[in-house]
Amino acid sequence: MTKNKFLLLGAGAALCIPSLAAKDRLTHNPAYTNTESILHVWSWNFPTIAQNMKQIADAGFTMIQTSPVQACFAPEGSGKKLFSENEGNWYFYYQPTDWTIGNNILGSRQQMKEMMDSAAKYDVKVIVDVLPNHTAFDIDAVSEGFTKAVGGRDKMYHSNGFAAIRDYNDRAQCTLEGTGGLPDVNTENPDFQKYYMQFVNELLGMGVKGFRYDTAKHIGVHSDPVDKAAGVKVNDFWDVATGRKAVKGVKLAVPEDELFIYGEVLQDRNVPEKEYADYMNQTASGYGHVIREMLDKESANGLDIINWRHEAAPEYLTTWVESHDTYCNAHESAHLTDPQIRAAYTFITARQNGTPLFFSRPAGSSPANVWGDNVSGARGNDNFFHPEVVAANKFRTAMKGQKEDIQVNDAGTVLLVNRGKKGAAVINVSHSANYVDLPTTLPAGTYRDVAHGKEFKVKNGRLKGALAPYASYILMK
């Protein structure tokens, strides 16, 4: 979630940190190509995901990201709507009451197991959105078992965790105080760490292949201030969460290198991106903002759409046109149409690096009707298996080992992503019909677009062809 949604607190003790060499996520390897893509099955329940797994695989997605699966705040009558005063809100699953599998929005542990079996059948990896940073607003709703396991309520939160953050660029406030009203768990408490890691290992035992860490930038790294009032000596949560160390005999059950783990480290001033890179991949939220700005302008002119705007190497970034937060919170991306989203998604997916995430908007939604059919647990709209999205995903996999070359026309309305001599993606980000006439690395010849069957020609090192409004085209040798 974002800083608009929650709050962070905690109290506890920490253990000494072993000196293990971290993966180098700062040095870019120019030859490396990312091939994976993520479908964020936002607010789909487990049966819905299982029923649609074949279509997800056929659409070329290699991974899905579920919404949070742990026990959550569930007032009577909730769980029916995505957004409703009386029948529940989507963000209730971002209010943990325990770290056990299953809730009234996504379904039971058994239903998750059935979903995992379906994912294995179609060779789709499952990433779970996890949120160790906070509990529900209503701390009385937090389970007695969890409260006992962490040593009681006074050990559950940071000493100043119920104070509201006033400056998100102040790292002490950002990591030790609360955002959005949600109480911040003391993630340095070894009893909490053990309890949480047992939950993580149970998910891994079910076949989960990775995690998206919600509000990751609000859980401190070694350079951040520690909660001395709670007896904390070092911020060691990430050492435990990524398997660098054990806590009370419990350790990450699968080597971190075998998992896809990324953190919601939203970019801002004073965020120690380099330090977070020691532990995990990160979100390229600044890059997503630039991509949306391009869509709003209907032109890349005046924008650097190539620079990733991050201290980490691009092969360790998760990219998006929009996230559930940009769509739901202030609706900053909800005004964009499905064709615009597809065009920009094709661009970031055709690129050599980053791992693109496609956010599944609600069924029946439109810029004028953000919540659409407003049914919790239902499948999102059809955009995730539109021919352009499918073609982009499969292009990404097929372009393994092919370096990118990006060209933009003078008006900034046509983008061309060349991938070696093997393929190219052409995108029109304008609402008007257009024409591509740009340098390409494709060999001379006639090419038929995979998504629409449209014909393009390459002659004298230039790619030429007509483009429909907000349309994207995939060409492969």
Structure token pair of residue 314: 């691009």
Q: At what angle are helices 387-398 and 338-350 packed, to 10 degrees?
A: 10
Of the residues 98, 184, 214, 239, which is catalytic? 214
| Mean pLDDT value across the chain | 94
For the question of residue 298 being annotated catalytic, the response is no
The pLDDT, as a whole number, for residue 433 is 98
- What are 102-130's pLDDT values in tens digits? 999 999 999 999 999 999 999 999 999 99
Q: How many domains does the chain have?
A: 2
The residue-averaged pLDDT of 257-280 equals 97
| Share above pLDDT 90 across residues of the chain, in percent, rounded to a whole number | 91
> Is residue 317 in a domain?
yes
The pLDDT, as a whole number, for residue 306 is 98
- What are 347-400's pLDDT values in tens digits? 999 999 999 999 999 999 999 999 999 999 999 999 999 999 999 999 999 999
> Is residue 357 in a domain?
yes
The residue-averaged pLDDT of 416-431 equals 98
Query: Domain holding 425: CATH number?
Result: 2.60.40.1180
The pLDDT, as a whole number, for residue 301 is 98
Q: How far is CA 318 from the centre of its chain?
A: 6
Measured CA to CA, the distance from residue 235 to residue 294 in angstroms comes to 39
> Is residue 470 in a domain?
yes
Give the model's confidence band at 86: pLDDT under 50 very low, under 70 low, under 90 confident, else very high: confident
Pair 123, 64 in one domain:
yes
Pair 381, 439 in one domain:
no
CB 374 within 8 A of CB 84: yes
Pair 313, 441 in one domain:
no
Pair 58, 142 in one domain:
yes
The terminus-to-terminus CA distance of the chain in angstroms comes to: 41
The pLDDT, as a whole number, for residue 449 is 98
Query: Domain holding 230: CATH number?
Result: 3.20.20.80
Pair 347, 414 in one domain:
no
> Is residue 290 in a domain?
yes
Q: DSSP readout, 407-447?
A: EE-TTS-EEEEEETTTEEEEEE-SSS-EEEEEE--SPSEEE
- What are 38-52's pLDDT values in tens digits? 999 999 999 999 999
Pair 408, 442 in one domain:
yes
Q: How far is CA 63 from the centre of its chain?
A: 11
The residue-averaged pLDDT of 448-460 equals 98
The residue-averaged pLDDT of 431-436 equals 98
Among 366, 401, 436, give the residue marking a domain's end.
401
Cα dihedral: 318, 321, 327, 332 (round 10): 120
For the question of residue 264 being annotated catalytic, the response is yes
> Is residue 1 in a domain?
no
Among 401, 419, 438, give the residue marking a domain's end.
401
Pair 322, 411 in one domain:
no
> Is residue 29 in a domain?
no
- What are 64-84's pLDDT values in tens digits? 999 999 999 999 999 999 999
Q: What is the DSSP letter of 66?
A: E
The pLDDT, as a whole number, for residue 57 is 98
Of the residues 98, 264, 275, 315, which is catalytic? 264
Pair 446, 309 in one domain:
no
Supply the range of the domain harboring residue 416. Answer: 403-477
How deeply is 256 buried, as exposed, middle or buried, from its count of CB atoms within 10 A (0-12, 13-18, 19+)?
Answer: middle
Q: What is the DSSP letter of 348?
A: H
Pair 356, 432 in one domain:
no
- What are 277-296's pLDDT values in tens digits? 999 999 999 999 999 999 99
Pair 83, 138 in one domain:
yes
The pLDDT, as a whole number, for residue 161 is 85
Structure token pair of residue 246: 């054990």
> Is residue 13 in a domain?
no
The residue-averaged pLDDT of 324-349 equals 97
Structure token pair of residue 319: 């990219």
> Is residue 469 in a domain?
yes
Pair 211, 324 in one domain:
yes
Among 401, 436, 451, give the residue marking a domain's end.
401
Pair 155, 259 in one domain:
yes
- What are 1-36's pLDDT values in tens digits? 543 443 322 333 333 444 455 799 999 999 999 999
**pLDDT at residue 332 tops 50:** yes
The pLDDT, as a whole number, for residue 93 is 96
The pLDDT, as a whole number, for residue 73 is 96
Structure token pair of residue 231: 């007896």
